[in-house]
Structure 1
């Protein structure tokens, strides 16, 4: 496993006793982020729609709590923040990892499908940030938004996925300016193709098609392979760490050079 420990000048672990919320924490990058934070001494509340999957992650550590919630539900944000602060009395980090997207050719544009992507990729992070702002102000905490390297290129049939994640990057920069007086830092990561269940889960592709897409994407990546959560998670911790107190408003693309292709 990648070493995700983040040291401080005093040699103490900067995550010890801190509290984080990770949305979409039952699998993939979200799950790996939650486990890395716990490994480094943090307490973590994870969210997702599948209570059974969340419970499986929570069984790994007593430092993990869960809230079963659909990010598209506008009433979930306050409930999530209240659960974290009620359990541990503070909040130091929000990782807006939950996302929605699926291939949508122009002939199949559907108002409900587009609205759902916007609700999860734009509205949900906004409401969670609103609900957590006071607690993050008290801790001089941080927000890390998870975007996508799709926003760096024009990808057929992923127009609205890319557009809503690009909007999240814009929110990242705006929030960084707005929250700077409260010493709340806001940054984002734009991952490239990462090995996970996203293609068959979030994107809804059949298994055979997902394998074809994975092979195609791997062939396009200059560094020769798809990423793994371990390629992304250390950077989430670094962007969220109080050790990087002068870093805000940045979007870091981690994609093995995928977005550089012509």
Structure 2
């Protein structure tokens, strides 16, 4: 899809992107905006969202914690009040948690599922009436570890596995409304996720190096590489594609 084609496709479309303050979410917000969309970038950190918005016109922001009960409805309401509709929901916000079974606690498990599973579900519910009107699209961001085992972070992997099953189930449930639901499952990608998990910088660098060595193509992914596929999945030209989980991991899944 050329830049000119993308701009024609997404002109005046309204796209909600969560986790837009960094990484894949920031890259997605910028990519949709460059393609002509009105973008509502959502995240917890106002400064990070503002930094995203400054990079390209057409991006508005909403700062809030998606784990709070009233925030998913408020996000969708903000987009509709500003632009009158919602065409695309990109459920990208999420957290990584290193949690060996011996260290698992109810509160940490609940918090992880609340952000990675419950919040996307409530956002999709809030957007549903508007997506029905626009025959829109939901794109979820899973992980290669949604379908690969991940020792010492099993609960994180379980949240992504749940998101992939939601993707397939919603695709069938919403097909009569002509709403398409797909997902991308990135492998290790450059982002702030490891640092945000509270790991020391030297540990983060070691993990990144180990991951790069384990990937057949020899490197971690870049956020823009994932964002380009989010656009493709949301593109109405992909109108016969639904219920799919596209793995982008440099061949890691093949091992």
**TM-score class, shorter:** over 0.9
**1:240 and 2:234 correspond:** yes
Determine if contact 1:32/1:230 at 8 Å carries over to the other structure: yes
Higher helix share: 2
Aligned length: 255
Which of 40, 52, 55 is 1:57 aligned to?
52
Determine if contact 2:96/2:193 at 8 Å carries over to the other structure: no
Which of 201, 220, 225 is 1:207 aligned to?
201
SS of the equivalent of 2:183 reads strand
> Normalising to structure 1: TM-score of the pair?
0.94
Which of 37, 42, 45 is 2:40 aligned to?
45
Give the corresponding residue for 1:177.
172
SS of the equivalent of 1:199 reads helix
Determine if contact 1:142/1:186 at 8 Å carries over to the other structure: yes
Distance 2:88 2:3 in 1: 16
Distance 2:148 2:120 in 1: 23
Which of 55, 64, 68 is 1:69 aligned to?
64
List aligned pairs for 1:111-260, cutoff 5 A: 111-201=106-196, 203-260=197-254
CA apart distance, 1:56: 1.6
Determine if contact 1:81/1:131 at 8 Å carries over to the other structure: yes
SS of the equivalent of 2:193 reads coil
Determine if contact 2:95/2:193 at 8 Å carries over to the other structure: no
Which of 93, 98, 101 is 1:103 aligned to?
98
Which of 13, 16, 35 is 2:11 aligned to?
16
